[in-house]
Every structure is written in structure tokens, then in C-alpha cells.
Amino acid sequence: MPGLSALARRLACLAWLGLLAAPWPAPAPAAALPQLVLDITDLLDHFRRRRTPTGIQRVQIRLSAELMAAPPAGTELRLAAFDPARLGWVRIPEEPCRRLLDLSAAGAEEADPDWAEAVEAMERIRAQAPPLRFLDGAVLCPLGATWGYPDWFRALAEARRGVALRFIPFVHDCVPLLLPETCEDGTAAAYAAWFAGFAAAADGFVCNSEATRRDVLAELAALAPGLALPGRAVRLDADPRPAVPALAPAEIPGLAPGEAYVLTVGTIEPRKDHASLFRAWRSLLRRHGPSAIPRLVCAGRIGWQAEPALALLAGSPELRRHVLLLERVSDSDLARLYRGALFTVYNSLHEGWGLPVTESLAYGKLPLVPRVGALPEAGGEAAAYFAPGSEPELLAALERLILDPAARAAEEAAIPARVRLRGWDAVARDLVASLAAVAAEGAPEARGLPAGGPLWEFARPAATRPDPARAAALLCREGPLWQPPEPWGVRSRPGPARLSLPLPPDAAGAPLRLALDLRAPPEGASLTLRVLAEGAPPIEAEAAFAPGAFEVATLDLPPTRGAAVQVVLETPPGSAGIGVVAALLCRQDDLAARLQFLEGRVFRRGGAPA
């Protein structure tokens, strides 16, 4: 860093590591966005299932609420939900959304009549809302997790027809790529498919930490060396206390008034590694006796693959007496838990940020965390650390904080001088400025991603690493008359479902071979097949399929001047549609591609030729 003093260099390094108490400055203001569309689909779908939010939902709630309260000047702000059936987005009115957010913060019971009514009202709104109209130059920013919607990128491609629409998502972490074994079944594959689409279609990204930004760039470079989308980190160093509803004091079920406890917040799942924490607590009890060790309170729902941690509790009477599980915790109850804790512990294997660390500091409680992922950015100089994955270090740190209250009090007293949290309104302004800066920088013109074709497989991707070719195959389907992909392929809806198959680079001006691997529904199907190519006469054929039959339709096509061949598969109204397993579009003399297609059909059917 030429020209900097030694002190300035040290401060710069500390800032890069996230160890300074003061928040980083927001990017310099850029030109106002014509329209900012916040996709909150997964937040609304989360509220269908449960009232209390987890980490990603908390971020969406606060950012949405702050931006609704103070929309960016000169920008049209819209909340939107993705509608797979209509292959597009609908506008979500702000007032019913605010009511959902307020009620979520006020309680934890899904059976509450006010909550149930608000959720039902939102369902009616989503069903009846008109399509959202994107303005030219708009930015579409999904605030949460859109990898559970396999047709999301198809809808993006449709929305971009005739409109300059920029896609800049908020990326919370790359955990499904880095630690797929810690994820719920199907999540790693869904995220990998999303990441491939993101690499191909995004204009840039925003994220929650420099650690996440580095993870995203590393994963992009693994797909295509040199691919680096513009990205900005929007730190989540926000004080949660102003947003907590002021409710009358209430007891926490299972905790006696004044009882000493240590708090951990997070879903019980492999990534949060409750099992190691429970083993450490068992060791503390055996070493020092139950009278010297406080309760461990776990605030968070029981998630996937929680059995190993829960088995430890079930098999240890001493642990069962000293570990309290609280699954449904409202914002107000969570605030009470933070205020009453001796300190907090967060034994995560990887985090994009780590909201429980920030929340602990906001309430003046010392967080004990592993030095991994973005946790050093969230904790800075105010947190206590141990080596990630080291149970001996975790145990030693817990012993020190529990058995030496004077040392713990000294570290806790230093928190106000070491931490300067900002309001969520400042984080929201930072988000808007970062989105504008990324949009102004622009996406790279050449991405260098592996190309798809001439064989296109339409099955739902199952790989846990991003596959750009599979992502490109999903985009061959155009329009709303397609169902979501299944493990074997994809089924059309009744009516004229369209495929647009790009020509291979070497096929311009050459005769073509088109082959479609088709699957009939259980009741059979009739199909009208049309093939349209620029400069060539249209081709039309009709066929009837026996129930559940697999058939291959093969057509030789004349040379075309276009960049793609349009294939229309039309089934009658009221039918189940036709299944498409794969498609081949190649030169007639490309024997290698034709053999690859044939082998795939033969081997999939157990050796029986098509």
C-alpha cells in the first residue's frame, strides 16, 4: 500500500478483516435506479409454513421494512413474488406485507387468528395480483433464496424480452457448494443449479460480507477462469433492538426466574454443530459438577439431520437436565433471552455473516465463535474465538467464560468501545447504493462459461456442483406451457409448448438432424409437432403415443439462416401434456453427437433400443 503510514496500513488491514468497530462506509452514491424490484418470494412462502423467521428471513424482513419506510429517492420501489404458473412476477402491495412482518415479530403461534388471517389474505393477493411491469433499466434483486424455484431463470429470460432488466441478487452464502454434506436433501443440487444460472445471467451481486464475496468470486472462477462479476459487500452490522416490539415481560417456558444460562441461537442442523457443543457441555458437567455449570438454552427449530445432536441429549440424563430446547421463539422472547444470558456461543462450521453474533453484541453479551467464514467480520475485536472444529479449544473457552466471571465481565465491559452498530435503515441505504454501483459497473460481456448442446438433457439437475450446460438446457423451454423439471425430464402443459434449440457453432449452412426423446403420460397422448427454422419451410407431423411409452422422433432439416430452431409440441386441451427427456440438434454428418444421443436412450432403457 504505497504512500500509507504504518498506522494507516494497520487500520486498512483491520478494516479489510472486518475488525474495526466502526461500520464500513457505503459506496459513493450512483445515479438513481429507475426501478428497484425486491423479490421476496421465499419470505412469503416461509410464512405459509411458519411464523418465526430464521437468519435469511430476518435479513429480508428488515431490509424490506426499511425500504418501504424510506424508499430510495428517484427510484420506483416494488415488492414482488415469483409466480411459476404465470412464469413471471406479481406485485405485492406494501400494506398487507407490512402487516405480515409486524405480526411475525409480535408472536410465534401460527394458530393465532390474526396471523392466520394475514397469511390467507396474502395468498389471495398473490393469486389475484396482476403481472408486475418492469421498467427499462430496472434492477431485480432477490433478497433471499430463489434456488427452490427451478423455472426462475426461464421467467427472467422472458421478462428480459424487450426490456433492459438487470438481475443483481443478494447472496447470503455459498454453503451448499462449500459444505454440501451439511445441507438438507436436495438443497445442494438446487443451489448448484441456481449458481450456474446466476453465473450465466447475473449483472453482478451484492452480499453480506467480504468473506462471502470472496467465496462467490472463487466459485465463479472455478466455473470459468477469469469470470468475475462485479460485487459489493453490504455488512449486516445492524442493531436489532429498535425493531423488537415492546411487549409486557413474560417468563420463558422451562427457565426459572433468575436462572443462569448460556444462549445459542440457530436451527439444530449439521452446519451449526450442536453435537460438538453438547459434548462440550457434558464434559463441563462431568468435570465441575452440575452446580457449577449453567443451563444451555438452544433457541431455534429442529431442522434436518438433527438426529445425532438429539441422540446425545436422549442418551445423557445429565445433558437433558442442563440443555433447554426452545423451538418457537418470538422476537420479543429472543430479546429477553439475549438480555438474560451470561454469554452466547455460536458453533457454526461456516457463515455468510452470523446474525446471532451481531445480536449478542447489540445486547452487550460476549459471543464465543469459531474463527471461520465471516464470523470474524461479524464479531470483530469484541468476540471471543476458538479454532473451528476444535472441541478441546471450545471446551477450554467455555470453561474460562463460565468459571472466571471477572474475566468475562471485563470482556463484556469492553464491547461498547469495540462495537459501533448502525441502524437497519443505514444497511438498507447501503444496499441501494451498492446495487446502483454494481449496476453502473455492468456485467462482463464475455463470461467464458461452458456451452451447452448439441445434446440437451431436460431432467432436473442432480449434481452438487454448478453445470452451466444443464442450466442452459433449462432455458431452451420458452413460455409458460411447461411444468417444473422432474428427475427424468420435463412435461409440457396442454397447448403449444415451445422449445428453442440453438444451432451448434459448426452447423451454420449445413443440413441438420433433430431428434426428440419423448415420454407419454400414463393415459397416453396425441401430439402435433411443428418445426420452424429461418429460411426453411415449416415441418409438421402428428403422432399418437401409447400410455407411458417412450418414443424418439427424428427429423432431417434443411440448412437454416437462423441461430436456433423452434420446436412446438402441441397436445390437446385437457390432456396431461407430453414429456421431453432430451433433444438433439446437430449437423447430419455429426456421427459422434448422434451416437451419444442414441447411447443415452439405449442405456437409460436398460439396453432396449428406442
Q: What are 74-95's pLDDT values in tens digits?
A: 999 999 999 999 999 999 999 9
DSSP string, 467-497: -HHHHHHHTTEESS-BPPP-SS-EEBPSEEE
Nearest residue to 366 (alpha-carbon basis) of 395, 409, 337: 409
User: For the segment 293-307, what is each residue's pLDDT rounded down to a tens digit?
Assistant: 999 999 999 998 999
Cell, residue 255? 427457565
Q: What is the mean pLDDT of the chain?
A: 91
Quickly state the pLDDT bin for 9 (edges 50, 70, 90): very low
Sequence letter at residue 345: V
Residue 377 near residue 209, CB atoms below 8 Å: yes
Q: Which CATH superfamily is domain 241-421 in?
A: Glycogen Phosphorylase B; (3.40.50.2000)
298 CB-contact burial (10 Å; exposed 0-12 / middle 13-18 / buried 19+): buried
pLDDT at position 15: 35
pLDDT at position 218: 97
Residue 501 near residue 567, CB atoms below 8 Å: yes
Quickly state the pLDDT bin for 1 (edges 50, 70, 90): very low
Domain 20-237+432-441 -> CATH class: alpha beta
Q: Is the dihedral of CA 55, 61, 63, 64 positive or negative?
A: positive
Cell, residue 403? 468459571
Quickly state the pLDDT bin for 6 (edges 50, 70, 90): very low
pLDDT at position 253: 84
The yes-or-no verdict on residue 604 having pLDDT over 80 is no
Q: What percent of the chain stands above pLDDT 90?
A: 82
Pairing between β-strand 525-533 and β-strand 536-545 as defined by DSSP bridges: antiparallel
Report the DSSP beta bridge partners of residue 557. 512
The yes-or-no verdict on residue 512 having pLDDT over 70 is yes
Sequence letter at residue 260: A
Measured distance CA(50)–CA(103) in Å, rounded: 12
Residue 77 near residue 91, CB atoms below 8 Å: no
Quickly state the pLDDT bin for 247 (edges 50, 70, 90): low
User: For the segment 436-474, what is each residue's pLDDT rounded down to a tens digit?
Assistant: 999 999 999 889 998 888 999 999 999 999 999 988 998
- Containing 599, the helix (H) or strand (E) segment is helix 591-604
The yes-or-no verdict on residue 16 having pLDDT over 90 is no
Quickly state the pLDDT bin for 605 (edges 50, 70, 90): low
Domains 20-237+432-441 and 455-604 share a fold: no
Q: What percent of the chain stands above pLDDT 70?
A: 93
Quickly state the pLDDT bin for 20 (edges 50, 70, 90): very low
Strand, coil or helix: 384: strand
Q: Which residue has the higher pLDDT, 7 or 147?
A: 147
Q: Between helices 94-106 and 41-49, what is the axis angle to 10°?
A: 50
The yes-or-no verdict on residue 592 having pLDDT over 80 is yes
- Containing 213, the helix (H) or strand (E) segment is helix 210-223
- Asked, as a colleague might, if the bond just before 245 is cis with ω within 30 of 0, I would say no
The yes-or-no verdict on residue 12 having pLDDT over 50 is no
Measured distance CA(46)–CA(352) in Å, rounded: 20
Measured distance CA(610)–CA(595) in Å, rounded: 13
Residue 136 near residue 164, CB atoms below 8 Å: yes
Q: Please give the CATH topology (third level) of the domain spanning 455-604.
A: Jelly Rolls (2.60.120)
Quickly state the pLDDT bin for 179 (edges 50, 70, 90): very high
User: For the segment 313-330, what is each residue's pLDDT rounded down to a tens digit?
Assistant: 999 999 999 999 999 898
CA end-to-end distance (rounded Å), the chain: 66
* 502-506 average pLDDT score: 91
The yes-or-no verdict on residue 267 having pLDDT over 70 is yes
* 126-142 average pLDDT score: 97
* ∠ Cα 132 436 12 (to 5°): 145
Nearest residue to 542 (alpha-carbon basis) of 564, 566, 572: 572
User: For the segment 95-112, what is each residue's pLDDT rounded down to a tens digit?
Assistant: 999 999 999 998 889 999
pLDDT at position 33: 94
pTM of the model: 0.90
Q: Which residues in 314-337 are b (16+ Cβ under 10 Å) and which e?
A: eebeebeebbbbbebbbbbbbbbb
* 582-586 average pLDDT score: 96
The yes-or-no verdict on residue 182 having pLDDT over 50 is yes
pLDDT at position 235: 97
Q: Is the dihedral of CA 536, 581, 187, 180 positive or negative?
A: negative
- Containing 167, the helix (H) or strand (E) segment is strand 166-167
pLDDT at position 14: 33
* 238-258 average pLDDT score: 83
Annotated domain spans of the chain:
20-237+432-441, 241-421, 455-604
DSSP state of 322: H
